[in-house]
Structures are given as structure tokens and as C-alpha cells.
């Protein structure tokens, strides 16, 4: 329970757990999906595809917290492989490459690996030099099976 004057983390980011499980694994999976998907949505400069409209996402008020948390997760070398594993699983579960194939601009953050892969084929994307170096390091390393 949160201390007086403090809001519990799920409330601060707008997360309402769907899982009824008391074990850590399903809760962790839902939290990862919620955070990474929210960052992806916040970074999109265009409307979200209709197929993703019902996926839980943080409210705009939580954007700074979500972006900070995701950047910290990407920057923590101790969990490189875990971040990549979670991002790939979420991308697959939500079918993001298929659902987002018509989008011409995916923003500047590479939350999911398909964003980095699609960058090379999109001239409308911002210059790679302006993109997060942590993102580029993760997806480049993952693509070549190396440690970032």
C-alpha cells in the first residue's frame, strides 16, 4: 500500500492489471507490455491503427514517467537481453509489423525491433543520427546476435 501522499505506481501510470494471477510472471508480462506499448503510442506522430485501439495504454499525464522508465530499461546493460526478449514477444503478440505496415512515420524512438528494421526502408523517418543511441545499440546487437 502506498504511503500517505503517495500514489501507487500502477495508478501513476494508469495501469489496471487484467491478470488475476498472484504470481510474478503474468504481472511482469503485463507491466512490460503496458510500458513498452505506451511508449510506442506516445512516440507515434500519426493516428494509431484501429486494430490497436483496445490495447491498454497509459494516459498522456503519465507520458514523462513512461518515457523515463523505458529509457532506463533500455540503458541498463544488466537487462539488455531481457529488454530485447520482452520487446520481441510484445511485438509478436500485438502483430505490430503487420498492423503498422501502412504507417509512414513511426516516430524517433525504437521501442520495438520492427521499428529499426523498417527504418532502412523509409526515407520519411528522421535521420538515424537523431535517434536514441541506446535503441540503435539494442536492435543492432540483437540483429547480429551480439551483446550491445
CA pair distance 138, 75, nearest whole angstrom: 9
Residue 86, classed as helix, strand or coil, is helix
pTM, full prediction: 0.72
Q: Tens digits of per-residue pLDDT, 43-97? A: 999 999 999 999 999 999 999 999 999 999 999 999 989 999 999 999 999 999 9
pLDDT at 46: 92
Stretch 125-130: mean pLDDT, rounded? 41
Is residue 74, in this structure, part of any structural domain at all? yes
pLDDT at 18: 65
pLDDT at 25: 81
Is residue 29, in this structure, part of any structural domain at all? yes
Q: Tens digits of per-residue pLDDT, 110-122? A: 899 998 777 555 4
CA pair distance 105, 102, nearest whole angstrom: 9
Is residue 2, in this structure, part of any structural domain at all? no
Is residue 35, in this structure, part of any structural domain at all? yes
C-alpha cell at 98: 503487420
Range of the domain at 50: 10-144
**Which one is predicted more confidently, 144 or 56?**
56
Is residue 4, in this structure, part of any structural domain at all? no
Is residue 69, in this structure, part of any structural domain at all? yes
- Structural domain count, the chain: 1
CA pair distance 133, 75, nearest whole angstrom: 9
**Which one is predicted more confidently, 1 or 46?**
46
Is residue 68, in this structure, part of any structural domain at all? yes
Give the pLDDT band (50/70/90) at residue 144. Answer: very low
Is residue 70, in this structure, part of any structural domain at all? yes
Would you give the DSSP letter of residue 130?
Answer: G
Name the residue among 45, 33, 38 with its Cα closest to residue 88: 33
Amino acid at each position: 500500500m502506498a504511503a500517505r501522499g503517495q500514489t501507487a505506481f500502477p495508478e501513476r501510470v494508469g495501469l489496471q492489471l487484467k491478470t488475476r494471477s498472484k504470481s510474478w510472471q503474468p504481472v511482469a508480462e503485463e507491466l512490460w507490455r503496458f510500458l513498452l506499448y505506451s511508449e510506442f503510442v506516445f512516440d507515434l506522430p500519426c493516428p494509431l491503427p484501429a486494430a490497436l485501439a483496445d490495447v491498454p495504454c497509459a494516459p498522456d499525464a503519465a507520458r514523462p514517467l513512461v518515457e523515463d522508465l523505458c529509457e532506463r530499461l533500455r540503458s541498463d546493460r544488466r537487462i539488455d537481453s531481457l529488454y530485447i526478449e520482452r520487446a520481441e514477444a510484445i511485438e509478436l503478440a500485438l502483430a505490430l509489423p503487420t498492423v503498422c505496415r501502412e504507417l509512414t512515420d513511426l516516430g524517433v524512438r525504437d521501442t520495438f525491433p520492427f521499428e529499426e528494421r523498417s527504418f532502412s526502408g523509409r526515407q520519411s523517418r528522421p535521420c538515424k543520427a537523431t535517434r536514441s543511441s541506446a535503441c540503435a545499440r539494442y536492435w543492432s546487437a540483437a540483429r547480429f546476435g551480439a551483446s550491445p
